[in-house]
Each structure stands twice: as structure tokens, then as C-alpha cells.
């Protein structure tokens, strides 16, 4: 027995418009995670992030909240505020911070390899450093290497090793 008033074909052309509920939830969680990254930034970096005043206030408040539940609710609020704006400028600044951090880590590791090799007596590494940085203060760096080797052999604190690290950093990276 069929009902004349109802047919399965009547609703075939009505498709839901816009993103699915799951897609909207994923986007909301991604924006909340972006807000969490803002909360965790050091003050100097946070000041460089372009954001509306209400979002900046919400982030500042969240940084002061230590109770887990309160902090979680504040992060949800930050996520809600983030849904009203274009996150691209914020993401661009955070990506720049990430790239800067990665570059700083590469510099740090390179400096540590140089120091380790030089204090270990690798004259070839010392020579290649001077070849790469001809304006380096050779006498000062050689003196720091000798002092660091003596300190290591005597079991003293690595004062000269730290000075060598700083001298190599200033020569190679200018800071």
C-alpha cells in the first residue's frame, strides 16, 4: 500500500549546504589550538601578533588563570573569538616565529659542534672556521681554546668554553 502524499524522490535534490558539523568542529578546535599557542607565547612575541583588542584581553586573562577548568573555559572563549576573524595574519606571524626558532636551534647546534671539536683538539675544524670567517680574532679564539682545554683537563668549571662559544657566535652570527 502506497501513500500518495509521500515519495522518496521528493527530497533527493535537497543537499545540506556549507561544511558538515564535523568539519565545523575541526575548524573550531584548530582555532582554539591557535589560541592556545597565543597564550603560550613569550611576552615579546605576543606583542608582535596582530589581533583585536578583545582577543588580546582574553589571551592576557587566560595567561593569569591557573585553575584547569577556568583556563579551559577561557581557551574555549578565545576559540570563539578567533572564529570571528581571519586567522591567516596570526598564523603567518606564528610561522615566522617557528622559522626563527628553528634557525636559532641550527645556529646553536653548529656552535656547539665547533666548540666541541676545537676543545677536543681538532685543528682542522679551527682552520676551517678561520677560513670561513677570515675576520675572526684568531689570537683571542686560539687563547680561549687553549684555556678551555686546560680547564677541561683540570676538571674546572667551563668558563673559557662559554667565552669561546660567545666569541664564535659573535663572529659567525653577529650576536
pLDDT in tens, 34-63: 989 999 998 888 999 999 999 999 999 999
Set of cell numbers at residue 144: 680561549
More confident residue, 140 or 175: 140
- Asked if CATH classification 1.10.60.30 holds for the domain at 21-92, the reply, yes or no, is yes
What's residue 24's pLDDT?
Answer: 85
Indicate the CATH number of 104-173 among 1.10.3720.10, 3.20.80.10, 1.10.60.30, 2.40.420.20.
1.10.60.30
What's residue 75's pLDDT?
Answer: 92
Task: Please name the residue that has the C-alpha cell 572564529.
Answer: 83
Question: Residue 131's pLDDT band (boundaries 50, 70, 90)?
Answer: very high
Rounded to the nearest 5 degrees, what angle is found at the Cα of 19, between the Cα atoms of 15 and 25? Answer: 135
Q: Hey, do 21-92 and 104-173 end up sharing a CATH topology, with the first three levels equal?
A: yes
pTM exceeds cut of 0.85: no
Contacts of 163 (CB under 8 A, 6+ apart): 144, 147, 148
What's residue 115's pLDDT?
Answer: 92
> In the chain, where do the E strands start and end?
none
pLDDT in tens, 71-101: 999 999 999 998 899 989 999 998 888 888 8
Average pLDDT of the residues in 141-148: 94
Residue ranges per domain, the chain? 21-92, 104-173
Amino acid at each position: 500500500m502506497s501513500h500518495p502524499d509521500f515519495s522518496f524522490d521528493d527530497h533527493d535534490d535537497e543537499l545540506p549546504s556549507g561544511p558538515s558539523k564535523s568539519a565545523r568542529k575541526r575548524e573550531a578546535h584548530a582555532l582554539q589550538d591557535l589560541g592556545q599557542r597565543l597564550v603560550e607565547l613569550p611576552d615579546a612575541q605576543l606583542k608582535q601578533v596582530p589581533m583585536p583588542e578583545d582577543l588580546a584581553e582574553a589571551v592576557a586573562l587566560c595567561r593569569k588563570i591557573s585553575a584547569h577548568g577556568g583556563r579551559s573555559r577561557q581557551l574555549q572563549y578565545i576559540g570563539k573569538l578567533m572564529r570571528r576573524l581571519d586567522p591567516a595574519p596570526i598564523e603567518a606571524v606564528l610561522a615566522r616565529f617557528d622559522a626563527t626558532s628553528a634557525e636559532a636551534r641550527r645556529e646553536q647546534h653548529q656552535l656547539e659542534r665547533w666548540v666541541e671539536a676545537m676543545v677536543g683538539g681538532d685543528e682542522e675544524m679551527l682552520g676551517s672556521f678561520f677560513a670561513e670567517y677570515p675576520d675572526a680574532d684568531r689570537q683571542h679564539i686560539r687563547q680561549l681554546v687553549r684555556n678551555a682545554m686546560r680547564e677541561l683537563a683540570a676538571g674546572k668549571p667551563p668558563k673559557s668554553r662559554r667565552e669561546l662559544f660567545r666569541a664564535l657566535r659573535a663572529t659567525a652570527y653577529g650576536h
